[in-house]
Amino acid sequence: MVYRIFAVLIVGFWLVMTGLLVRLEIAPEKSAVLDVPVAHIFRTMFAHGQQSLLDITENGLPVGSLVLTPKAEADERSLGFSGTLWLRVPGMVKQRMSWEGLVKLDRALRLTGGQFELNVVESRSHLVLTMPKAGESLHCELTQGNARILDTEITVDAAGLARAQKELGFDVSPFLAAQKNVSAPQIVSRQTEHLFHGEKISVFQITIGPPGSALAEIYFSQLGQVLEARTPFGYTLLSQD
């Protein structure tokens, strides 16, 4: 079961990174009709470099934490992230997970590479996903205890995904079908007021999803800190500040 979970994570990461490369558009000229361009919010985040410390709750109960650390150096931008989570998996005991990673961007906020590491404490499992250069390949390494289960390079194309399917023993066709049938989510950003810790403050709001049925809502401070995020998975993230 744990192996299958990691297989889903690997394929999911592959699809997310591919989707970012192809569909996610945050350039200012693409957001001319929005109240606040999405790129402006992200540039504010990197300009001020304010760390976001977030508590994760599920149905009001604390289940983990997340730290986001933006950095700007010369022509490079990076967003570091780390956190912990108690994950409920049907048919399994609650899993303790921890992760850390780094997303690398250029000055125009185009993805250039990244890395993601995930630990599952109970199963002593460790997953490392590395994309040295955006759009080229994804290196996957999975260990459980002292045993190395997987160590492979997957190219970011149909052939690479077919190879992943063979090595993982996991049918990825449903993911491919979903990727073809689901259009890029609508991203709307604006400046608004939001009730935060009992006080109404001015924030930037990013809404992802079709109008009237948002998949996620993210609220940023005027300095680019993430204050709150609501997800479709039952998790809510709230700043500790």
Question: pLDDT tens across 67-117, in order?
Answer: 999 999 988 999 999 999 998 766 667 889 999 999 999 998 888 999 999
CA distances from 174 to 1, 24, 62, 199, 200 (A): 18, 22, 33, 45, 44
Which residues of the chain form beta strands (DSSP E)?
Answer: 52-58, 61-73, 76-87, 95-106, 111-120, 125-131, 137-144, 147-155, 187-196, 199-208, 216-220, 226-230, 235-239
Can you give the pLDDT at residue 142? 87
What does pTM read for this prediction? 0.78
Q: Which two tokens stand for residue 111?
A: 């993805």
- Ordered mean pLDDT values, 10 residues apiece, the chain (241 residues): 49 49 43 66 94 93 94 93 86 84 91 91 88 78 87 74 64 59 72 89 88 81 94 86 71
